[in-house]
């Protein structure tokens, strides 16, 4: 048979294609010039990576020497099969992996000993490519230091964007929960923040922040120290927060997750699974001095405790307890503080949140129960950020009987607490309390109206704040005010 030029051209094309996708190139070491970027396949178009042959299987090993890190930027797309079989998966060297179905410059971070990218195209029309860059790590562990103790009511919190590493010391062991970023695009960069089981980055690596978020579990050190460090180039971690506690307080929690509010008007619903033991959710405000969180609804089976701060064995910072079968009259409810922890003891729970006050303050109906509290009430120490104003407005300006009692109130310096009830333009109740005119605690007051408000002002003094509960009762006639001595002396609203 004569070997024609056309046959030669076809043979050459097959040879070029085979070399372009040769798995022998699947072993990557740091180049001599580490300022350069390595491409596979060579210089592919990032917006349209090459189509790989079917049934192509290769493990691309990313080798990283000690004192360096590597960033892989992966681009791929594929026909997703009905069984969601994975064609691309990234592996690190400490037991974690990520399945990838579609990506554009998806970031993977590797430290010494490296990791790998697995490609198995099957029959899924996979387009695939990545580039690789090496970065020299800092040689001095110049860390910020923090401590958590068993007696702490407030956790130690840090932004995940760390230009210098942090070292946390506990009385027993360190527990870390991650509040994720708001936007999905930022999640990939959490792979670039590493957690170490000890006082510095020479300790065993426990993984990265993304793995903690995905597992919905706390990460726990084996001893007293935990360290966290960000790899170069510093990834953009958005509003990701690190929440540290002493493990003695959280060791009974099986499912532990952070929750981020991506939209102020509707944060969304988060589920809790308590079938294997207590489950917890940690939420963090963007600012420690302003803003509020509102629990719109809660359903499920079991008991829900709300802590201002972290979960504690003492429960000294529990501000509310709910029976999930009986929440309709008690929600929405406002919760303040910087960190809040919702703990489920039971089978399951579904919590819906917002950062908007409209549902809490407006359309209050007969039967509604709840409380007003200052920002850091139950936080464990006096604060100068206790100021706050709250109000309720009834549905269609319906006149109701506002029944309320002040359970705790602290007055330092010029601190004032003002309680008001209005019916239309008429003020039916107005009382201002001060250090020289303090309220009688646990006395139930009732006043008719369609609006009810409290205003607590410390004028810069540090106080322990205030707490009062309320209930909206059916109006029984003309406006009137009367006082009933209450026999209830509960500090925390408890629903039975």
Tell me the per-residue pLDDT of 5-33, one tens digit each, with 9 for 90 and over.
Answer: 444 443 334 333 444 677 866 789 999 99
pTM: 0.90
- Is CATH 1.25.10 what the domain over 381-496 is classified as, yes or no? no
Render pLDDT for 225-270 as a digit per residue (tens, 0 to 9). 999 999 989 889 999 999 999 999 999 999 999 999 988 889 999 9
Measure the CA–CA gap between 165 and 229, rounded to whole angstroms: 4
Backbone CA torsion sign across 153, 158, 160, 164 = negative
| Closest CA relative to residue 62, chosen from 92, 23, 32, 34 | 92
Compute the distance between CA of residue 214 and CA of residue 191 in angstroms, rounded to an integer: 11
Per-residue confidence (pLDDT) for residue 477, from 0 to 100: 55
218: which residues sit within 8 A by CB, 6+ positions away?
175, 176, 177, 212, 247, 250, 253, 256
Q: Mind listing the pLDDT tens digit for each residue in 158-182? A: 999 998 999 999 999 999 999 999 8
* Pairing mode of beta strands 279-284, 255-258: parallel
> 277 with 253: CB under 8 angstroms?
yes
Q: Enumerate residues 6+ apart whose C-beta is below 8 A from 56.
A: 21, 23, 119, 120, 121, 126
CATH topology for the 144-251 domain: Jelly Rolls (2.60.120)
Contacts of 277 (CB under 8 A, 6+ apart): 252, 253, 254, 255
Q: Is it the case that residue 428 has pLDDT exceeding 80? A: yes
Least confident piece of the model among 189-198, 233-242, 411-420: 233-242
Residue 119 has pLDDT above 80, yes or no: yes
Q: How confident is the model at residue 455 (pLDDT cuts 50, 70, 90)?
A: very high
Q: What span, in angstroms and rounded, lies between the C-alpha atoms of 239 and 186? A: 9
Residue 407 confidence (pLDDT) above 80: yes
Per the CB < 8 A criterion, the answer to whether 172 and 149 are in contact is no
Write down the pLDDT at residue 82.
85
Mean predicted confidence (pLDDT) in 184-200: 96
What sign has the CA pseudo-torsion 388, 394, 398, 401?
negative
pLDDT (mean) for 304-326: 98
- Is 408 a residue whose pLDDT tops 80? yes
Q: Tell me the per-residue pLDDT of 46-105, one tens digit each, with 9 for 90 and over.
A: 888 999 999 999 999 999 999 999 999 999 999 988 888 999 999 998 888 999 999 999
Q: What is the pLDDT of residue 20?
A: 61
So what's the pLDDT on residue 4? 47
Helices (H) and strands (E) in the chain, counts: 4, 35
Which residues are 108's β-sheet partners? Answer: 72
Return the closest-CA partner of residue 463 out of 490, 433, 488.
433
Q: Which of 53-62, 89-98, 407-416, 476-485 has the lowest mean pLDDT?
A: 476-485
Cα dihedral sign, 272-273-274-278: negative
DSSP per position, 130-176: EEEEEEEPPSS---EEEEE-TT-SS-EEEES--SS-EEEEESS-EEE
Counting Cβ atoms within 10 Å, is residue 226 exposed (0-12), middle (13-18) or buried (19+)?
buried
Residue 494 has pLDDT above 60, yes or no: no
Predicted pLDDT at 21: 77
Within this chain, domains 24-136 and 144-251 share the same CATH topology: yes
Q: What is the mean pLDDT of the chain?
A: 91
Among residues of the chain, what percentage have pLDDT more than 70? 92
Q: What is the pLDDT of residue 213?
A: 97
pLDDT of residue 425: 94
Q: Where are the alpha helices (DSSP H) in 180-280?
A: 209-215, 247-250
Please report, for the chain, the start and end positions of each structural domain, with discontinuous segments joined by +: 24-136, 144-251, 381-496
Q: What class, spelled out in words, does domain 24-136 have in CATH?
A: mainly beta
């Amino acid at each position: 048979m004569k070997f024609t030029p056309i046959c030669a051209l076809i043979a050459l094309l097959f040879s070029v294609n085979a070399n372009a996708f040769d798995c022998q190139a699947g072993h990557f070491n740091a180049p001599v010039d580490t300022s350069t970027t390595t491409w596979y396949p060579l210089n592919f178009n990032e917006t349209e990576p090459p189509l790989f042959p079917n049934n192509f299987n290769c493990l691309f090993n990313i080798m990283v020497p000690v004192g360096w890190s590597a960033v892989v930027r992966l681009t791929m797309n594929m026909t997703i099969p009905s069984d969601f079989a994975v064609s691309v998966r990234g592996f690190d060297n400490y037991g974690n992996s990520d399945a990838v179905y579609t990506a554009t410059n998806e970031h993977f971070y590797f430290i010494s000993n490296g990791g790998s990218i697995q490609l198995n195209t099957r029959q899924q029309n996979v387009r695939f490519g990545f580039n690789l860059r090496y970065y020299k790590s800092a040689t001095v562990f110049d860390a910020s230091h923090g401590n958590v103790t068993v007696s702490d009511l407030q956790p130690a919190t840090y932004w995940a964007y760390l230009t210098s590493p942090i070292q946390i010391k506990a009385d027993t062991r360190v527990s870390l929960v991650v509040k994720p970023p708001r936007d999905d695009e930022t999640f990939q960069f959490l792979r670039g923040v590493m957690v170490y089981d000890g006082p510095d980055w020479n300790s065993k690596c426990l993984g990265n922040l993304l793995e903690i978020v995905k597992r919905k579990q706390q990460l726990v050190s084996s001893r007293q120290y935990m360290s966290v460090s960000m790899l170069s180039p510093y990834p953009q971690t958005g509003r990701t927060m690190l929440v540290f506690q002493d493990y003695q307080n959280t060791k009974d929690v099986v499912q532990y997750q952070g929750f981020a509010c991506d939209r102020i008007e509707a944060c969304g619903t988060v589920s809790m699974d308590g079938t294997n033991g207590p489950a917890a959710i940690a939420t963090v405000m963007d600012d420690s001095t302003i803003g509020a969180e509102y629990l719109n609804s809660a359903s499920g089976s079991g008991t829900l405790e709300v802590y201002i701060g972290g979960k504690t064995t003492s429960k000294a910072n529990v501000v509310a307890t709910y029976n999930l079968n009986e929440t309709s009259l008690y929600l929405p409810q406002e919760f303040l503080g910087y960190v809040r922890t919702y703990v489920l003891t039971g089978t399951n729970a579904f919590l819906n949140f917002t950062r908007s006050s409209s549902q809490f303050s407006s359309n209050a109906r007969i039967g509604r129960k709840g409380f007003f509290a200052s920002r850091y009430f139950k936080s464990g120490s006096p604060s100068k950020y206790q100021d706050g104003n709250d109000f309720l407005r009834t549905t269609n300006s319906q006149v109701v009987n506002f029944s309320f009692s002040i359970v705790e109130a602290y007055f330092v310096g010029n601190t004032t607490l003002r309680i008001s009830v209005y019916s239309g333009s008429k003020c039916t109740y107005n009382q201002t309390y001060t250090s020289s005119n303090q309220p009688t605690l646990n006395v139930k007051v009732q006043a008719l109206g369609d609006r009810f408000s409290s205003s607590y002002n410390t004028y810069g003094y540090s106080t322990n704040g205030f707490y009062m509960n309320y209930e909206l009762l059916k109006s029984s006639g003309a406006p009137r005010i009367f006082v009933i001595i209450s026999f209830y002396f509960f500090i925390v609203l408890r629903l039975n």
